[in-house]
Amino acid sequence: MEAQTGTEMGATQPDTGSGTTRAYNFNGPPPLKPNQGILVNYILRFVAFLLTFISAVVLGAAKETVILSNSTIQNGIIKSTQFAAYVYFVIANVVVLIYSLASLMISIANRGVLGRFTVPLSIGDLMMVILLYSCNGAAAAVSILSDNGQPNTGWNSICRVLTKFCGSIKASIVLSMFAGVVYFLFVVSALVGNRKQLQIR
């Protein structure tokens, strides 16, 4: 019988020099083992918790004292809580960090074998993606206006003076965006897993 070539499991080819056969795998690197996949899940959920925690704290505490003739300044202090988009950003990131901690605890308690929790967590991960991208978009829009201004509507650039405040805002948005990428990976991973299960059936 001739050796199979180009199959999913690879191909075998005789070695004329030693009389042995060598196996070649054309499918790229092997998939993660179950234990490795569980560990990656733990790490990513903890990273998402850490990123959203830091971004919420940094943006929530962002403020700077300055004297400007601007209606958003109260007693010479500008705070992130004076902007509705930033308040929404903080609340959204707090929701995500609570979910990240809860989902991590559920995963650890079930040792990665989620069973009946698989679908609810997948739906929750998708909701976190939507929430993070929504709040990041809102905060980024205000940050861009604060940085560049909008002369036609009377919105003056404030980041030329409030460098510390604007720097904290930008750093928080970047961290939160990374958290959004983490949850996007969870959603993609769940879709790929479901597709493989359907193919097996």
The mean pLDDT value of the chain amounts to: 78
The verdict on 11 and 40 lying in the same domain is no
The verdict on 66 and 15 lying in the same domain is no
Q: What is the pLDDT of residue 120?
A: 84
Region of poorest pLDDT, from 51-55, 95-99, 104-108, 149-153: 149-153
CA 39 from centre of chain: 17
The verdict on 16 and 92 lying in the same domain is no
Strand 63-65 to 77-79 pairing: antiparallel
The verdict on 92 and 15 lying in the same domain is no
pLDDT tens digits along 140-185? 999 998 888 877 777 778 888 888 999 999 999 999 999 999 999 9
Exposure of 6 by Cβ count < 10 A (0-12 exposed, 13-18 middle, 19+ buried)?
A: exposed
3-state secondary structure of 64: strand
Domain span at 53 = 32-200
The verdict on 46 and 79 lying in the same domain is yes
The verdict on 36 and 22 lying in the same domain is no
| Residues comprising the chain, all counted | 201
Q: What is the pLDDT of residue 130?
A: 95
Residue 10 contacts residue 21 (beta carbons within 8 Å): no
- What does the block give as tokens for 163? 């460098």
The verdict on 176 and 106 lying in the same domain is yes
The verdict on 11 and 86 lying in the same domain is no
Residue 166 contacts residue 143 (beta carbons within 8 Å): yes
The verdict on 161 and 88 lying in the same domain is yes
Residue 121 contacts residue 171 (beta carbons within 8 Å): no
Domain total of the chain: 2
The verdict on 25 and 48 lying in the same domain is no
The verdict on 11 and 47 lying in the same domain is no
Residue 70 has pLDDT above 50, yes or no: yes
Residue 147 contacts residue 155 (beta carbons within 8 Å): no
Is pTM beyond 0.75? Reply is no
The verdict on 110 and 195 lying in the same domain is yes
